């Protein structure tokens, strides 16, 4: 298995045709917003905030699973009612895209690479993409509203089918154990973002280093599955 850190060469890009992104913790640093959201549910139920284990769980899982995890026994229906009375979309304007994300997306598109999203968000992903002007980059967008939540690999299979490519021709960028599991289940190379404790083929500390290597690979020719077709592939 090829393992790459921020200083490796271009072998990990050979034959690459598409890149799939997780949302929370990858495209956006949303941990604080998610904690605020779930703690608000608990507060309205007269309960204390989440502990560290609960915070880690809700960061990775879909909303219904997360609420079931933090709700005390016998109070799940109450917690779901509180959730339905909240408007998570009010928090979306406070989300901050990761540094270098827009530049990376433009470079990936210029290099002829497909891009998709695979997230355990349920019904806000499309709103997030529209709000931040990213919708034009991603197709398809797989959420827990339309496929089984991760770590079930349904969403990954759906993306591979839509793109008509082999698993080794795609990479999945994620930051949690669930992301690593779903990539491994399908045989898709996993790139860990900001989390070197995961088993991954590559570790990314930021998007700038990945962008530089995509530009280099596009210039080299024959490394990526498709070559750079536009002048702004240049760094």
CB 192 within 8 A of CB 180: yes
Q: What is the pLDDT of residue 123?
A: 84
In tens, the pLDDT along 115-131 reads: 999 999 988 899 999 99
Q: Which of 152, 157, 38 is nearest to 88 (CA)?
A: 38
CB 185 within 8 A of CB 177: no
Q: How many CA atoms lie within 13 A of 89 on its CB side?
A: 12
Separation of alpha carbons 121 and 145, rounded Å: 8
Q: What is the pTM of this model?
A: 0.83
Enumerate residue ranges in the chain where pLDDT < 70.
1-9, 222, 226-235
Separation of alpha carbons 148 and 125, rounded Å: 15
Task: Please give the torsion angle defined by the CA atoms of residues 109, 115, 117 and 118, in that order, rounded to the nearest 10 degrees.
Answer: -150
Q: What is the pLDDT of residue 235?
A: 36
């Amino acid at each position: 298995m090829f393992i790459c850190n921020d200083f490796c060469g271009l072998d990990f890009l050979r034959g690459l045709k598409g890149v799939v992104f997780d949302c929370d913790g990858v495209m956006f640093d949303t941990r604080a917003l998610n904690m605020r959201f779930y703690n608000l549910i608990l507060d309205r139920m007269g309960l204390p905030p989440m502990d560290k284990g609960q915070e880690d769980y809700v960061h990775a899982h879909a909303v219904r699973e997360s609420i079931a995890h933090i709700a005390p026994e016998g109070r799940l229906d109450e917690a779901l009612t509180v959730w339905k009375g909240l408007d998570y979309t009010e928090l979306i304007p406070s989300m901050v895209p990761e540094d270098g994300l827009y530049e990376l997306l433009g470079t990936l598109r210029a290099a002829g690479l497909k891009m998709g999203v695979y997230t355990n968000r349920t019904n806000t992903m499309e709103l997030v993409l529209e709000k931040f002007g990213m919708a034009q980059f991603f197709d398809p967008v797989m959420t827990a509203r339309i496929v089984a939540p991760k770590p079930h690999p349904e969403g990954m299979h759906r993306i591979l089918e839509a793109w008509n490519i082999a698993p080794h021709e795609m990479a999945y960028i994620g930051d949690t154990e669930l992301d690593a599991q779903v990539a491994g289940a399908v045989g898709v190379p996993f790139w860990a973002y900001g989390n070197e404790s995961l088993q991954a083929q590559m570790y990314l500390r930021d998007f700038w280093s990945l962008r530089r290597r995509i530009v280099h690979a596009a210039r080299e020719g024959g490394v990526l599955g498709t070559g750079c077709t536009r002048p702004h592939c240049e760094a």
